[in-house]
Structure 1
Amino acid sequence: MTRPPRTAALAAALVTTLVATLLASTPAGAAAPGEREPIARAAVRGPIPGTVPGDPLAERLADTYPFFSTPSDLAAKGYVEEEFYLSGVADGWDTAGNQVATDVAYQTRLVVRRPADPRRFNGVALVEWQNVTAGYDLDALWNAESTIRAGDAWIGVSAQRVGVDQLRGWSPTRYGGLDVTGGGRYVGDQLSYDIFAQAGRAVADPRGVSPLGRLRARTVLAIGASQSAGRMTVYYDRVLPQVQPVFDGYGFIVGSAPTRVGDEPVFQVLSETDVRTPVRPADTDRFRRWEVAGAAHSGQNGQVYRAPIQERDLGAAPVYTCARPPFSRVPMQHVTAAAYAHLVRWVERGTPPPTAPPLVFNPDGTKARDAHGLARGGIRLSQVAVPTALNTGDNAGESFCVLFGTYQPFDEATLDQLYRTHAGYVARVVTADVRNVAAGYLQPADAAENLREALRADVGRHGGTRRP
């Protein structure tokens, strides 16, 4: 079969989407007094044609693949990555929850990573509000290992002007028709809340083209990290009481969380970086908060994953000069994966997640630390409970250094004092991880990975460590 030129296929897709936008522009219907407004149904078109990274035609076709496409070999793991246009009309809201616009046409994109085989799908869709703090869309909560292991689908939503504007400049061929500002009338992301909700509805209750293909989602969770968690907080606290819900539960990661008590459960997971005061909201039957000792807002795992993508799509990965060696290696993503699993059970069975101890503060308001400088309290993964390095959530310096935390390996004298034998070190790692698995803060597969790393380490051998 002869494949049409990619540029022609892209043009055809844009035209089709424009027609779909007009068809989707029929108002959803006003709510009766005292009722919550329905969420309009958006049109989904795609998958968007184009090359994938590594295709020899990519250079000639000017980046006609999804921006920040994952370098993970998804096919080898039974997953696919696809991109779609999402279009329709959205209402606008300010941050106080006042409706400031109605039925404004928009078009944006969805990135989908899902099981190729419906039999691999567990029925859970994680809909992430893409983070734009760096000036472009960032899939901050994509974790290939835990997502694929669970059989989840992940959907990234480009809801904000900064991200969409960057996409338009990065590839006018692919993204030139995107607009989430109503032609420049609403540049403060007033439409973002409704766009995100419409994306959730397209996943939860598809009509026509489904972003998940043949898959059907049973549970749809909204997730957001940092800046995106802040946007979702406004949505949950101020907008959601006025509109019909589309998400079954919410995960607010390394960022703010709602203060309103709603019908849908809320899970907040914070790194050490994000906990700045001993004053905290109480856990309830609809709210749970976890704090992870030693973890950073943006730690080593994310930096390693994103560096090759930044080099490919942005020309270079950023280099930072921080006050202390950056990037905590406490695997925050392991706790987040456990939290998602609890959130699903909370939604589907009504089983609330376990509570977790908070980080400890001194009377003067500073974080309490042990003799090695490690934070006291909180969820203590084996990287903190059985330490071989100083991992903290604190740092300083230029740009984003304050978010990176610190990683400083212990010297051999300290390691010799802590661990006399390799077997003793491994046994302590296993004990800490078993405790966290039993408490619900860590999944068994991640505990197994910690064990493999401990077995490979030189701690307790030859008078110290050779590989930090």
Structure 2
Amino acid sequence: MKRLITVSGLLSLILTSNTFAQVPAMPTALAVPTSGQAPLSSARRPGTEYSDLDAYGYVEEEFYLQGVAPAITASGQPLLEAPYTTRILVRKPAAPARFNGTVVIEPFSWFGERGAGWILTRDYLLRRGYAYVGYTLNVNTPPVDPKFIADTPAAQAEQIAQYGRIVNFEFMRRFDYARYAPLGTYYDPQRFTRGDGPDPFLPQSQGIGAQLALLLKSNTAQGPLAGLAVQRVYVNSWAVTAQVWMDYLDQGRHQQWRMPDQTPLIDAYMTGRMAYGEVGGDVIRLPRKMPDGVPFVTVYSQSELMHDVIEGINLPPDTDTPQVRYYEVTGMPHLRLADLGTEHSERLPADLDKGNDPRCQTLYDEPAELVVSALLDGMDRWVREGKPMPRAPRVAREGKAAARDPATGNLQGGVRPPWVQVPSATYLTEQETGCGLIYDTKVAYPKDVLGQRYGSFSHYRQQFESAKAVSVQEGFLLPEDAAGLRPIATPQDF
């Protein structure tokens, strides 16, 4: 008896036959032999990424990650397959019972191999039993390094002089040759371009990320998380490496590359401090092939939101289908002293003869990691419980300028941490001050202004405590973090 195929059934067969979903190649993870010192970016090394892993019952291990991955152009065209050897740095609970089932993966920054996402969420991750895997996306230094292409030879030379020692595999090998000599990836600046120049992003970035997620989620006995039952993998990618994951989503890799059972490799995406398209000029704010059922969360500091305001770029609306959230966090700088990577330094106001400029004297280093941790927690609950993340208003605009409250000098709208709800300073951006810094700066209120606004430190502190409760209720501060958040101004300021 012939089976009858309905029109809807035929359509289903056609769609199924045309699907391009596939399982990426499985990479191999090999333990990196010890060289007598801690790995680059180690949480056990003194510095911005340090954490007391032992106190939380965590271990840290480093592996070579090896495989064959496609090299993909900035426009999304795979040109060839090539072998690669990179490294991953794993932090995981020593006791499987402490593991919450979720792994956060993050590509390390170009500059100093910094784990920005780790720095911004580490206390939360360790408290809640996440596993963390940072991984390297790097190349050997090409004849012309596209990371430093500038408008003039002098500007390019200045960038190379400042950052040339802390990028690419050469930096890693100089740091620890025995450990990092085997690393290698494919790169051809002639064949892979972005905008009008060579693509500064590693062409194998997307494939390496997908293969890493496959390895972690497959729960193999030989994997770097053997003994832990991985259920979810989240991306947490910040600064320039966030573009890699925008490309991944924009080009449809989320739908293309899947687990063997056709479920997603990645369960949620958080990126931050990156204006997509700033490198190469393809300016979009929402992936053109945005998948359903997977959160895409972008966190802007004041610097990124000001960039979009000046350029007249509007953010997409927050929606639950697809799951999109944009957060413009006021009182959050693009870079803090606490965010620097290994051997990474930035020029300070005194270095640029700006030490006496009242708008350039004071960097702000407020604990933005508390806001980011609350957002990561909200994204996790969206995945596990189906509870949508909170929404926040956009920063108000006045044409191509951001609206500021004349009474406080601070931006109107956006996510407003307690130090912006109850301010003791005006938080500025480099675009406004022209200080010549990567850091943003603030101008603290003088004593008479604090006195007029609050009367006394006691009254200021009371209002700050009330603001903390508001942020907890809004979902932008976790209760356990609120307890340790201290007022920014001190009694001496009054």
> Could you say if the C-alpha distance between residues 47 and 218 of structure 1 is closer, same or farther in structure 2, counting changes exceeding 3 Å?
farther
Q: 2:210·2:257 contact (CA, 8 Å) conserved in 1?
A: no
The answer to whether 1:108 aligns with 2:86 is yes
Q: 2:35·2:178 contact (CA, 8 Å) conserved in 1?
A: no
Query: Secondary structure of 1:449's match?
Result: coil
Tell me which amino acid in the other structure corresponds to 1:86.
L
Unaligned runs of 5+ in 2: 1-15, 140-166, 193-198, 259-263, 277-284, 355-359
Query: Secondary structure of 2:87's match?
Result: strand
The answer to whether 1:386 aligns with 2:391 is no
Q: Which has the higher contact order (CA 8 A, sep 6+)?
A: 2
Tell me which amino acid in the other structure corresponds to 2:314.
V
CA distance in 2, matches of 1:87, 1:239: 24
Q: 2:270·2:296 contact (CA, 8 Å) conserved in 1?
A: yes
Task: State the match for 2:268 in structure 1.
Answer: 249
Query: Secondary structure of 1:331's match?
Result: coil
Q: Quick one: which of 428, 452, 457 aligns to 1:422?
A: 457
The answer to whether 1:348 aligns with 2:348 is no
1:95-121 CA-partner distances (Å, limit 9, x unpaired): 11111112x111100011222222222
1:173-222 CA-partner distances (Å, limit 9, x unpaired): 11111101179998751111101111111221132432224322222101
Q: 1:112·1:153 contact (CA, 8 Å) conserved in 2?
A: yes
> Could you say if the C-alpha distance between residues 209 and 392 of structure 1 is closer, same or farther in structure 2, counting changes exceeding 3 Å?
farther
- TM-superposed deviation, 1:47: 5.2
CA distance in 1, matches of 2:129, 2:168: 28
CA distance in 2, matches of 1:155, 1:283: 29
Q: 1:295·1:392 contact (CA, 8 Å) conserved in 2?
A: no
Task: State the match for 1:235 in structure 2.
Answer: 248
- Identity across the alignment (%): 27
CA distance in 2, matches of 1:426, 1:293: 20
> Could you say if the C-alpha distance between residues 392 and 294 of structure 1 is closer, same or farther in structure 2, counting changes exceeding 3 Å?
farther
Query: Secondary structure of 2:365's match?
Result: coil
The answer to whether 1:129 aligns with 2:107 is yes
Task: State the match for 2:291 in structure 1.
Answer: 262
Q: Quick one: which of 122, 130, 135 aligns to 1:157?
A: 135
Task: State the match for 1:211 in structure 2.
Answer: 224
Q: 1:292·1:379 contact (CA, 8 Å) conserved in 2?
A: yes
- TM-superposed deviation, 1:386: 1.1
Tell me which amino acid in the other structure corresponds to 2:318.
D
Q: Quick one: which of 93, 97, 102 aligns to 2:76?
A: 97
> Could you say if the C-alpha distance between residues 366 and 384 of structure 1 is closer, same or farther in structure 2, counting changes exceeding 3 Å?
closer
After TM superposition, the structure 1 = structure 2 runs for residues 186-205 of structure 1, keeping only pairs within 5 Å, are 188=199, 189-205=202-218
Q: Quick one: which of 30, 34, 44 aligns to 2:29?
A: 44
Q: Quick one: which of 377, 380, 390 aligns to 2:413?
A: 377
Q: Quick one: which of 394, 404, 414 aligns to 1:368?
A: 404
Q: 2:138·2:185 contact (CA, 8 Å) conserved in 1?
A: yes
Tell me which amino acid in the other structure corresponds to 2:100.
N
Query: Secondary structure of 1:342's match?
Result: helix
Task: State the match for 1:359 in structure 2.
Answer: 395
Q: 1:48·1:82 contact (CA, 8 Å) conserved in 2?
A: no
Task: State the match for 2:477 in structure 1.
Answer: 442
TM-score, reference length from structure 1: 0.79
Query: Secondary structure of 2:377's match?
Result: helix
Task: State the match for 1:88 in structure 2.
Answer: 67
Task: State the match for 1:10 in structure 2.
Answer: none
1:106-165 CA-partner distances (Å, limit 9, x unpaired): 110001122222222222211002121x3x421111133222122222111112325434
Query: Secondary structure of 2:206's match?
Result: helix
Tell me which amino acid in the other structure corresponds to 1:443.
L
Task: State the match for 1:335 in structure 2.
Answer: 371
1:297-330 CA-partner distances (Å, limit 9, x unpaired): 1134425xx5xxx4xxx3x744433651353233
Q: Which moved more, 1:165-174 or 1:350-359?
A: 165-174
CA distance in 2, matches of 1:101, 1:167: 26
1:69-106 CA-partner distances (Å, limit 9, x unpaired): 2233221332222111100111111111111112x111
Task: State the match for 1:67 in structure 2.
Answer: 40
Task: State the match for 1:59 in structure 2.
Answer: none
Query: Secondary structure of 1:377's match?
Result: coil
TM-score, reference length from structure 2: 0.75
CA distance in 1, matches of 2:91, 2:387: 28
Alignment root-mean-square deviation, CA: 2.6
Q: 1:130·1:137 contact (CA, 8 Å) conserved in 2?
A: yes
CA distance in 1, matches of 2:206, 2:90: 19
Task: State the match for 1:14 in structure 2.
Answer: none
CA distance in 1, matches of 2:428, 2:484: 21
> Could you say if the C-alpha distance between residues 392 and 218 of structure 1 is closer, same or farther in structure 2, counting changes exceeding 3 Å?
farther
CA distance in 2, matches of 1:98, 1:394: 36
Q: Quick one: which of 21, 35, 38 aligns to 2:20?
A: 35
Task: State the match for 2:175 in structure 1.
Answer: 170
- TM-superposed deviation, 1:223: 1.4
Unaligned runs of 5+ in 1: 1-30, 53-64
